[in-house]
Copies of this chain bind each other. A is one copy, B any other.
Amino acid sequence: MSYIQATYKFPTKVGGTERKAEGIALGMTVGSWTDLTEMDQQQLLRHKGRVVSVTEVEEDSNLFGIAIIEYPTVNFSPDLPAILTTIFGKLSLDGQIRLQNISFSSGLAEQFPGPRYGVKGIRDILGVYDRPLLMSIFKGVIGRNQAYLNQQLEAQCYGGMDLVKEDEILFENELTPFVTRIKEGNRITKKAYEETGHRTLYAVNLTGRSTDLLNKARWANEAGADVLLFNVHAYGLDLLQAIREDEEVHLPIMAHPAVAGAMSGSSTHGIDYSISLGTFIRAAGADFSLFPSPYGSVALPFQDVQNIVSKLSEENVWKPTFAVPSAGIHPGLVPTLVKDFGVDQIINAGGGIHGHPQGALAGVKSFKQALHATLAGESLENAASKHRELKEALQLWG
């Protein structure tokens, strides 16, 4: 049988967890059970939610129940809005409860596309296989004109970044229209590639009304865009999937975590980050998932980040999604990043590049020096003695 399993955590009293779990399993499916006739029970058996397991844990003198409940796919259509409503619709409103984990049976998973490219596909486009990719962002985009963006993009391309992404808060505007950003981005990345042999992918922010997104994405594809950045949590997961599945859009998709904190930020309510920025993002088809790194000022707990990365990369029917731990990243963190998250990640820097004492180009170089040294097993101190840019970065950020 095809199903989805959901794991919930909620406050409980000794011995009350089983009953609460049964209440969820029934309340979110057939409604009631013991008062049904035998004939009704027979008819509804294949629709009934099933309590897979129940455990109780004590944390800071509070008792919590953890229940895994299985929902048969016959109850819902195979789309993420239906799944969200089935496993956490009414239930999300029912006091303190946290959706901790979800697990698709393989029959159900196959009905979701997963990434079009995934880690290997993106590596194939760039021709880079043996190291984390490097990504940078712009310094200030709001109220800036195209020449300002172009100048920054050039520095980053010629410096040798693998990806450059726009800010998630850059919407359609008169100074830097979507159309112009794509054309100029295309021109600059192409020119840099011809002159340096290094390819840089430019991620443009796909925004606007939901009903226009597919047409805009098709247009972007046509106009030579490299990657679509998408604020999936401001729109809805199913729209990410729609872009992924559109037959005329062949672009990699980079899912931005904006607004995800609203549903995942609390540890007692809402939906775990490993779902919102992990499982769901991968199922719906993002090639990249950005999330707060555990190191910066906007930071997630390390365990949360590990859980996200695990969901993005664990073996299943979907291609792996590139993990992009973001915020607070400077060259001194590169050895930690590689130790913590391996080679298949994207090192994404903003302030760590633009804040370099010698400017953005030196910032890019310092990251490349740090990465090169780390992969060669050399200490950053040692590498810094040979490279001025890395030395200055370490002096500034440690």
Contact = CB atoms under 8 A, between A and B. Distances in A.
B90 A168 contact: yes
Interface residues of A, number: 72
A79 to B, nearest CB: 5
B44 A94 contact: no
A142 interface: yes
B44 A81 contact: no
B88 A262 contact: yes
B231 A89 contact: yes
Given A46-B143, A259-B89, A269-B262, A28 B169 contact: yes
Contacts of A95: 265, 298
Contacts of A93: 257-258, 260-261, 265, 292, 298, 300
Interface of A: 28-32, 43-44, 46-47, 74-77, 79-82, 84-86, 88-97, 99, 139-140, 142-143, 168-169, 171-173, 207-211, 214, 231, 234-236, 238-239, 241-242, 256-263, 265-266, 268-271, 292, 297-298, 300
A43 B262 contact: no
A234 B168 contact: no
Contacts of A80: 234
A111 B36 CA distance: 51
A321 B196 CA distance: 59
Contact of A263 (B28, B207, B263, B292): B263
Contacts of A260: 92-93
A215 to B, nearest CB: 12
A44 B85 contact: no
